[in-house]
Amino acid sequence: MAHGEVVHTAPADLPYGAALTSSGRVSRVHLTGDANTDLPPFGRDELIRLDETLSAAIRSTNIRFTAYVGDIGTEGARGLKDIFAAAPSADESVLIAVSPNAHTVDVVAGSAVSDRATEEVCKLGVTAAVSEFRAGNLVDGIVSAIRVMSAAIQSP
């Protein structure tokens, strides 16, 4: 395959946790730890909605948004720091970390973007997420948080 060559992939041939978006891009969930690969974390439509929301937020703010769903650990802030440090371009990104079992959501902004992704903006994201989580909508909560924060963040 040459650089820039378009490759057509049937949805059935995609790797675990991947979905083909309406634009033809492949959106994929990256699993960490001991994942149960028999039970996908999100459905195809949920993956596409999450991917499109992340892409739009990144384009409008020039800040990388990352969503983490899973156990944050018993040490709370320490576990969140470890997760954030492992995120791509952590200093230039915003992490939305959701621990469904612990019923927590945290938003952390990297040092290079904290002047635009302020504490107030992060709080707006948490508030948007929590209202959807209470209704039992995990993906909708993450999507709402990303949309509210990206709307509140000023472009450079």
pLDDT in tens, the chain (156 residues): 444 445 556 666 666 666 666 666 666 655 555 555 556 678 888 988 998 999 999 999 999 999 888 888 766 677 788 888 888 788 999 999 998 888 889 999 999 999 999 999 999 999 999 999 999 899 999 999 999 999 999 666
The H or E element containing residue 66 is strand 64-69
Is residue 57 a contact partner of residue 63, using CB atoms and an 8 Å limit? yes
In a domain? residue 24: no
Q: What is the CATH number of the domain that holds 117?
A: 3.10.310.50
Is residue 131, in this structure, part of any structural domain at all?
Answer: yes
Instruction: Return d(Cα 44, Cα 21) in angstroms, integer.
Output: 9
Is residue 98 in some structural domain? yes
Residue 135 counted as domain residue: yes
Sheet of 104-109, strand order = 64-69, 93-99, 104-109
Is 21 domain-assigned? no
- Residue span of the structural domain in which 146 resides: 43-152
Residue type, position 99, single letter: S
Token representation of residue 143: 């999507």
The domain tally of the chain equals: 1
Residue 71 lies inside a defined structural domain of this protein: yes
